[in-house]
Amino acid sequence: MGELMTAQNASKGASSTQEIYNMIEDNKNLRDNYELNQYNLVHKQRSNHLKKQNILEENLAKRRARVAAMGMSGDGSASAEQKREAYEGYKDIAEDDYDYYQQYKTNRVNTKYKIRSNAVNGILNATQSLLK
């Protein structure tokens, strides 16, 4: 009878060890995926930022060249229009950057929650398999 109890306890211990191992592997995968997603998000944000900034600077340079060709370089309304376009362009870039930041933050919070939840569930499952 004692050998049967020992075999059952060993089986329970192996099962609970497997539960904990699975939880650790899942959390490792979550962290790896999180890091890859965050890296891709930062790369995408930087690429988008530079692309929009280059387009804005090209548009402003073309406008300056057009205004200079018309001989209105000293005209206040042309200067005001150019400043307004620059403001709108940089505001758009800043809004995009903020959206990426919010997405970055959300990914971080969600991943931390999943890892904690996974850890708690893994420990509960391991404990339950020991108690059965």
3-state SS string over 4-56?
HHHHHHHHHHHHHHHHHHHHHHHHHHHHHHHHHHHHHHHHHHHHHHHHHHHHH
Please classify residue 16 by burial: count the beta carbons closer than 10 Å to its beta carbon, then call 0-12 exposed, 13-18 middle and 19+ buried. Answer: buried
118: tokens are: 């996974």
Is the distance from CB of 111 to CB of 38 less than 8 angstroms? no
Is the distance from CB of 41 to CB of 103 less than 8 angstroms? yes
107: tokens are: 């990914």
CA distances for 119 relative to 33, 74, 108, 115, 128, angstroms: 17, 67, 17, 6, 14
Question: Domain range spanning residue 120?
Answer: 2-131
pTM: 0.68
Q: How many domains does the chain have?
A: 1
Q: How far apart are CA 104 and CA 28, in angstroms?
A: 19
pLDDT in tens, the chain (132 residues): 445 445 455 555 567 788 788 888 888 998 999 999 999 999 999 999 999 999 999 998 888 888 777 776 556 777 788 889 899 999 999 999 999 999 999 999 999 998 888 888 888 877 877 776
